[in-house]
């Protein structure tokens, strides 16, 4: 899609403008009464969400790469139709292909309390080579006093198919050593680094590399700095929550991640890490809602 074409197609929008990077990556700037946000067409990838009179909620790498077929480091990548390595072919791209796919912008709804962006991709020759399934994936992004991301998956054909997925949100924090997540406890998690099942009995704190899959966690988590809650993360349609921080050594191994970047971020991912069945014709929903401290909903929801 060309910048001039998309501008023309949505020229009556009041809350959304379009632009592109030098490398030609198209993105949307959304600004309404409640918040500002930036979303790339590649991956339907949110790179910024800042509520009015509040702080930026998402972490974005200073050395992120904005190029075709490269996932942007930070913001909210979408892992789909598999999470992590592909179970039957580890040579396929980690976290699936949606995060580097060029989405179409289906519609923009400008409401009094939020802006809703709807993007989609459908199966084509390239995707069928990677995942032999006819599908439609719609990503709905609601930008208001809260940010809500919903993945709607539909497959077509005769037979059920299994898949996995995640909304891989990178949150901006002041200092990871002062950060904790409450609401994961009590829960079991799979520590991917040691391949052990562990009990989480206390709010989660960060002192080292963390790569954990919480199985059947609460759908309501609070991100806390010091003793101050900064935002609430809710999820629905998920069988797990993934928490990731690469810490120092892994940060240095990633070319698109600043060496000390791990001190300012944590990923909290709404996920289906276990294989889920997709039945032809039925819609499978996964969503994550981010409720910043500035949202009127925050006080009613805060249980930390
Ligand atoms: C997390 C995984 O979801 O994503 C980690 O649990 C992985 O194992 C991390 O390292 C980042 O993945 P990528 O492909 O974006 O570097």
Which one of 146, 168, 190, 234 is the catalytic residue? 168
Beta-ladder partners of 208: none
Q: What pLDDT score does 132 carry?
A: 96
Whether the predicted pLDDT of 17 surpasses 90: yes
Q: How do beta strands 283-292 and 147-156 pair?
A: antiparallel
99 lines ligand 1 (CB under 6 A): no
Confidence of residue 303 (pLDDT cuts 50, 70, 90): low
Beta-ladder partners of 241: 214, 270
Average pLDDT over residues 198-216: 96
Percent of the chain at pLDDT > 70 equals: 99
94 lines ligand 1 (CB under 6 A): yes
Measured from the Cβ of residue 128, the count of other Cβ atoms closer than 10 Å reads 12
Q: Tokens 């930008």 map to which residue?
A: 143
Q: Give, using CA atoms, the residue closest to atom 6 of ligand 1.
A: 211
Which pair of structure tokens corresponds to residue 264?
């300012």
* 3 state DSSP class of 118: strand
pLDDT tens track for 215-224: 987 899 999 9
Average pLDDT, rounded, for the chain: 96
User: Which atom of ligand 1 is nearest the CA belonging to 84?
Assistant: 2
Average pLDDT over residues 110-125: 98
Our measurement of the distance from residue 200's CA atom to the centroid of its chain's CA atoms, rounded to an integer in Å, reads 23
Cis previous bond, 218, omega within 30: no
Whether the predicted pLDDT of 108 surpasses 80: yes
Q: What pLDDT score does 304 carry?
A: 54
* 3 state DSSP class of 52: coil
Cα–Cα distance between 213 and 198 in angstroms, integer? 10
Q: Ligand 1 centre from 10 Cα, in Å?
A: 35
Pocket test for ligand 1, best of 70, 165, 209, 244 (most atoms within 8 A of CB): 244
User: Which atom of ligand 1 is nearest the CA belonging to 271?
Assistant: 3
pLDDT tens track for 134-186: 999 999 999 999 999 999 999 999 999 999 999 999 999 999 999 999 999 99
pTM assigned to the model: 0.98
Q: What pLDDT score does 301 carry?
A: 82
Which pair of structure tokens corresponds to residue 70?
């490269």
Please return the burial class of 126, using the count of CB atoms within 10 Å of its CB with bins 0-12, 13-18 and 19+.
exposed
Q: In this structure, are residues 255 and 231 in contact, taking their beta carbons and an 8 Å threshold?
A: no
Measured from the Cβ of residue 303, the count of other Cβ atoms closer than 10 Å reads 11
Q: What pLDDT score does 293 carry?
A: 95
């Amino acid at each position: 899609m060309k910048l001039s074409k998309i501008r023309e197609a949505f020229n009556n929008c009041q809350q959304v403008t379009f632009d592109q990077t030098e490398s030609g990556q198209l993105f949307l700037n959304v600004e309404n009464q409640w918040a500002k946000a930036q979303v790339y067409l590649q991956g339907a990838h949110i790179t910024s969400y800042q509520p009015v009179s509040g702080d930026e909620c998402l972490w974005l790498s200073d050395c992120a790469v904005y190029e075709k077929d490269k996932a942007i480091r930070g913001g909210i990548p979408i892992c789909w139709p598999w999470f992590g390595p592909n179970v039957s072919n580890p040579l396929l791209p980690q976290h699936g292909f949606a995060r580097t796919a060029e989405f179409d912008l289906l519609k923009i709804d400008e409401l009094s309390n939020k802006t809703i962006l709807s993007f989609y991709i459908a199966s084509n020759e390239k995707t069928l080579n990677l995942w032999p399934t006819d599908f439609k994936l719609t990503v709905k992004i609601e930008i208001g006093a809260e940010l809500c991301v919903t993945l709607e998956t539909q497959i077509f054909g005769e037979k059920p198919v299994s898949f996995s997925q995640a909304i891989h949100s990178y949150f901006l924090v002041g200092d990871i050593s002062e950060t904790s997540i409450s609401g994961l406890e009590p829960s079991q998690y799979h520590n991917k680094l040691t391949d052990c099942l562990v009990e989480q009995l206390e709010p989660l704190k960060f002192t080292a590399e963390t790569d954990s899959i919480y199985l059947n966690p609460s759908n309501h988590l609070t991100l806390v700095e010091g003793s101050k809650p900064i935002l609430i993360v809710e999820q629905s349609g998920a069988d797990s929550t993934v928490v990731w921080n690469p810490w120092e050594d892994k940060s240095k191994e990633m070319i698109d991640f600043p060496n000390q970047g791990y001190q300012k971020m944590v990923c909290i991912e709404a996920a289906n890490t276990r294989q889920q069945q997709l039945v032809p014709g039925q819609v499978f929903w996964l969503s994550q809602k981010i409720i910043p401290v500035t949202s009127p909903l925050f006080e009613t929801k805060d249980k930390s």
